[in-house]
Amino acid sequence: MMGMFRPPFHGLKRVNVLILGVDNDADAPRSDTIMVAALDLSQRTIGILSVPRDFRVAIPGHDAKKINAAYTLGGAALTDQAVEALTGVRSDYHVTVASGGLARLVDALGGVEIDVDKRMYYRDRRGGLLINLRPGLQRLNGEQAVGYVRYRHDAMGDLTRIRRQQLFVRALTREAFAPRNLARLPRLLKVVSEAVETDLTIRDLEAMADLGKTIDPEHIKARTLPGTPITVAGISYLEPDYQELSHVVKEVLYGARPRVAIINATEVPGVERGLVRRLGAEEYEVTEVRIANYAAATSEVIDRADHEQEAAEIRGWLECGKVIQAPGEAIAGADITVLLGTDYIGK
């Protein structure tokens, strides 16, 4: 009986939750989705770390395999061990969601609004899966939402699908705390507990819901662990970039600030010094300052790693220019590149 009255998360103020999306159509189910959600109940923040399922790692007790094989070999417990070996982060709890449970949850919320980025059509007759979505902003029902997060026929393969999953998590959070659903939260939490397999209690889920009410879904920090495509014995994998991975883990789970590179394209020497001081005071790491051999008319804050909030903050300090979302290769190991143009002079 005493367990019924324990505080949420046994009184912990920071908890990590391993979230697994499992393909239950397969003969040997594997985790299609692997995420670690870091919940900080004191600072009221949520960070989500996505682990590519194709990462080639040494699974404890087994040879090197794709990390999603850990679920087949040992369920959530072995997956947690594999993620810990990769990141150094051990989860306090886990949530396993099969496609049927996800569909029931979305339907209970009245659907989820998603801007589908492209035409998606895929049929797997053996697995009984049909994905048939057209591009554009629309409300997806449970079955359609499952298709959206599972679709993987993209030029960048699984990395594009992971990005969709992160967008889906934000959209699902918006739906859960929409005014029409707030009054139904107790019933929705019951649906959650029935639709997923988890060691979280109803009281833990209520604490998570309370945290979600106070956070703008767009401000949920979400990153994907970096890796490089490789082929081993004819099988395609992603090789983890362990040095970069370490920084991403610190940023998402422990609140480290993004790294910034500055390019002075004003033809005025030293004009970047004030920005360097401001970034340092706000605990950003400035990795490099370059002097361009040309003049740019317009300043740009180039977000290379899904840092919309921080990029907007830096743009506000500049009082000029624009933010550009341009995921890709970073300059000097930076997540954000600031190009100072002549419109910055005198700011």
pLDDT computed for residue 176 by the predictor: 87
16 and 132 both lie in a single domain:
yes
* pLDDT mean over 71-77: 94
- Model confidence band, residue 136 (pLDDT cutoffs 50, 70, 90): very high
In a domain, 251, yes or no: no
- Model confidence band, residue 331 (pLDDT cutoffs 50, 70, 90): low
In a domain, 290, yes or no: yes
| Strands (DSSP E) found in the chain | 14-22, 31-40, 45-50, 56-58, 64-66, 93-98, 112-116, 120-124, 129-133, 136-140, 196-198, 221-224, 227-232, 235-240, 259-264, 285-291, 300-303, 322-325, 336-340
Question: In the predicted model, is pLDDT for residue 1 greater than 50?
Answer: no
306 and 225 both lie in a single domain:
no
* pLDDT mean over 198-211: 89
Q: How far apart are CA 164 and CA 217, in angstroms?
A: 14
Per the CB < 8 A criterion, the answer to whether 21 and 29 are in contact is no
295-315 confidence digits (pLDDT tens): 999 999 999 877 888 999 999
* pLDDT mean over 139-143: 95
Of 229, 245, 277, the position where a domain reaches its end is 229
CATH of the domain at 14: 3.40.630.190
Per the CB < 8 A criterion, the answer to whether 198 and 96 are in contact is yes
Question: In the predicted model, is pLDDT for residue 24 greater than 70?
Answer: no
**SS3 state of residue 344:** helix
- Kindly state the percentage of the chain with pLDDT values over 70: 94
222 and 296 both lie in a single domain:
no
Structurally, how many domains does the chain consist of? 2
* pLDDT mean over 241-245: 88
216 and 324 both lie in a single domain:
no
* pLDDT mean over 160-167: 89
In a domain, 243, yes or no: no
Pick the more confident residue, 213 or 70: 70
188 and 322 both lie in a single domain:
no
Of 207, 229, 251, the position where a domain reaches its end is 229
In a domain, 234, yes or no: no
Question: In the predicted model, is pLDDT for residue 3 greater than 60?
Answer: no
CATH of the domain at 314: 3.30.70.2390
* pLDDT mean over 81-87: 95
141 and 219 both lie in a single domain:
yes
221 and 273 both lie in a single domain:
no
216 and 150 both lie in a single domain:
yes
Question: In the predicted model, is pLDDT for residue 56 greater than 90?
Answer: yes
110-124 confidence digits (pLDDT tens): 999 999 999 999 887
117 and 34 both lie in a single domain:
yes
Domain that holds residue 329: 259-344
- The winner for highest mean pLDDT among 10-14, 29-33, 297-301, 330-334 is 297-301
pLDDT computed for residue 192 by the predictor: 85
122 and 268 both lie in a single domain:
no
Task: Provide CB contacts within 8 A for 108, sequence distance 6+.
Answer: 187, 188, 191
pLDDT computed for residue 330 by the predictor: 61
Question: In the predicted model, is pLDDT for residue 194 greater than 90?
Answer: no
27 and 138 both lie in a single domain:
yes
- Model confidence band, residue 96 (pLDDT cutoffs 50, 70, 90): very high
In a domain, 48, yes or no: yes
* pLDDT mean over 14-18: 94
pLDDT computed for residue 2 by the predictor: 41
In a domain, 236, yes or no: no
pLDDT computed for residue 156 by the predictor: 67
Pick the more confident residue, 162 or 332: 162
Question: In the predicted model, is pLDDT for residue 25 greater than 90?
Answer: no
219 and 270 both lie in a single domain:
no
In a domain, 135, yes or no: yes
- The winner for highest mean pLDDT among 4-13, 162-171, 216-225 is 162-171
User: Which residue, among 12, 11, 10, 19, has the nearest Cα to 48 in the 3D structure?
Assistant: 19
Pick the more confident residue, 262 or 253: 262
pLDDT computed for residue 288 by the predictor: 93
In a domain, 151, yes or no: yes
